[in-house]
Amino acid sequence: MDVHSNLAQLRAKRGLGAAQLATAVGISRQTVYAIEAGSYVPNTAVSLRLARILDSTVEEIFSLESEQEPAETAEVIMLGNPASMQAGQPLRLCKVGGRTVAAAAEAGAWGLPPTDALLIAPIRDGKRTANAKVRIVGAGWDSAQRILLAGCDPSASILASALQRQDCELVIAFENSSRSLELLHEGLVHVAGTHLEEKPEGPGSVAAITGMFPRNSVAVFSYAMWQEGLVIVRGNPKKISGISDLARKNVLIANREPGAACRILLDELLREHGITASSVKGYEREAPGQLPAARLVQSGEVDCCVSTQASATVLGLDFIPLARKPYRLVLRRKEMELAPIQALIETLGRASFRREVEACVGYEMRSSGDRLA
């Protein structure tokens, strides 16, 4: 039987370099690497010295392959852009309608993301989603208390925290408004967040959403009213004052991907001002989300982007408002009795939750939780 070596992991855990360990044990650095690679099995004396230096046991360092617990794998439906993912990609998992759906895990500002599984390449190509094989590393991901939301709102993390206090877990797939509704239509998420609308604040504005689905199959809830506009470098060194400035040769923008509501707004405003996309420097540069686009502004890679005021506020950037838009949550009516869905709907209407979101990102939350359809 082959011998499995955990030496590399134990050495890294103790903070020892290969040369440092080799000197302490009395072997060469190349021997250390050979042991870690599994191409060389040391004698008893070396094994015991390794265990002593690493404050471990021989059994912890070496084991027979047959004794290794087989990794649990699963076939999943992958959300996001498969072309941008590689083997080892951390994933969150959720059961949606009997199918296992995976979304890329989002890292926090200073830490690794919570992870249920790791991607095993390759991904088999699909049209907008793909089947993939993953290695399960977490537990509890198939809980009935877990639901999957697709959307682009940065404050979804605040909603997730509120639900967590009620023993419900919200997994977030960061997708644009159009794609979120498509995923809900395909039965791959429980909730879709969107700021697409037919007529801004018009009486028929929900029709653009409900018209995508079979009659009376979805419910629409108000979440927030927010400002969309130009997120610009703090201090506005390029003196940008509006859409017309995007045609200037010294102004570089970051755009959103096709289907994103912010890109749709940009295209509408460019048409109104008689500006062609080809005359806007950076129009073809796409960022996959509101915060990713705003971070390009923060880093100085671009001068501005179209995003929400919340993105500018969170990253300490300046903002020029262009439009006031509602953000809504859409879900299937047949799933409204699920306990975490009920908790989500109840949370939207809580005054404490509304105050928290208003304070953190500046949304108008007065109608949060109101059912619109």
pLDDT tens figures, 201-223: 454 457 778 888 999 999 999 99
pLDDT at res. 74: 86
pLDDT at res. 289: 87
* Residue found by looking up tokens 């027979």 in the block: 64
Decide if pLDDT at 163 tops 80: yes
pLDDT at res. 126: 52
* Residue where a domain terminates, one of 67, 99, 118: 67
| Residue 94: partners with Cβ closer than 8 Å, 6 or more residues away | 100, 101, 103, 141, 146, 147, 148, 171, 190
Decide if pLDDT at 245 tops 90: yes
Shared-domain flag, residues 254 and 346: yes
In degrees, rounded to 5, the angle at the alpha carbon of residue 255 between the alpha carbons of residues 250 and 259 is 155
Using an 8 Å Cβ cutoff, are 93 and 101 in contact? yes
Decide if pLDDT at 127 tops 70: no
The model's confidence at residue 88, banded by pLDDT at 50, 70 and 90, is confident
Tokens of 53: 């230096």
Decide if pLDDT at 200 tops 70: no
pLDDT at res. 70: 56
What value does the mean pLDDT take over residues 81-98? 86
Shared-domain flag, residues 158 and 292: yes
Q: In angstroms, rounded to a whole number, what is the distance separating the alpha carbons of residues 42 and 53?
A: 15
Shared-domain flag, residues 138 and 286: no
Shared-domain flag, residues 151 and 130: no
The tally of domains found in the chain comes to 3
pLDDT at res. 207: 78
Decide if pLDDT at 111 tops 80: no
Shared-domain flag, residues 182 and 269: yes
In degrees, rounded to 5, the angle at the alpha carbon of residue 171 between the alpha carbons of residues 157 and 214 is 110
Shared-domain flag, residues 24 and 118: no
What value does the mean pLDDT take over residues 158-181? 93
Sequential DSSP letters for 299-310: TTSSSEEEEEHH
What value does the mean pLDDT take over residues 14-30? 90
Shared-domain flag, residues 335 and 354: yes
Residue 20 sits in a domain of what CATH number? 1.10.260.40
Distances (CA, A) of 184 to 33, 105, 140, 175, 222: 49, 19, 23, 11, 17
Average pLDDT, the chain: 89
- Look up residue 333 and give its DSSP letter: G
Shared-domain flag, residues 56 and 86: no
pLDDT at res. 106: 75
Shared-domain flag, residues 193 and 253: yes
pLDDT at res. 205: 58
* Residue where a domain terminates, one of 87, 120, 142: 142
Shared-domain flag, residues 127 and 186: no
Total-model pTM: 0.76
Least confident piece of the model among 103-112, 250-259, 291-300: 103-112
| Residue 6: partners with Cβ closer than 8 Å, 6 or more residues away | 60, 61, 62, 63
Within the chain, strands assigned E span: 3-5, 62-64, 73-78, 90-96, 99-104, 117-124, 130-136, 146-151, 169-174, 191-194, 218-232, 253-256, 286-287, 304-308, 318-332
pLDDT at res. 288: 86
The model's confidence at residue 129, banded by pLDDT at 50, 70 and 90, is low
Decide if pLDDT at 182 tops 60: yes
Shared-domain flag, residues 247 and 134: no
Shared-domain flag, residues 179 and 262: yes
* Residue where a domain terminates, one of 92, 107, 142: 142
Beta bridge partners of 229: 307, 321
pLDDT at res. 204: 42
Residue 164 sits in a domain of what CATH number? 3.40.190.290
What value does the mean pLDDT take over residues 53-75? 78
What value does the mean pLDDT take over residues 96-117? 82
How do beta strands 191-194 and 318-332 pair?
antiparallel
What value does the mean pLDDT take over residues 22-41? 88
What value does the mean pLDDT take over residues 302-321? 94
Least confident piece of the model among 6-20, 279-293, 317-331: 6-20
Decide if pLDDT at 130 tops 80: no
Residue 43: domain span: 3-67
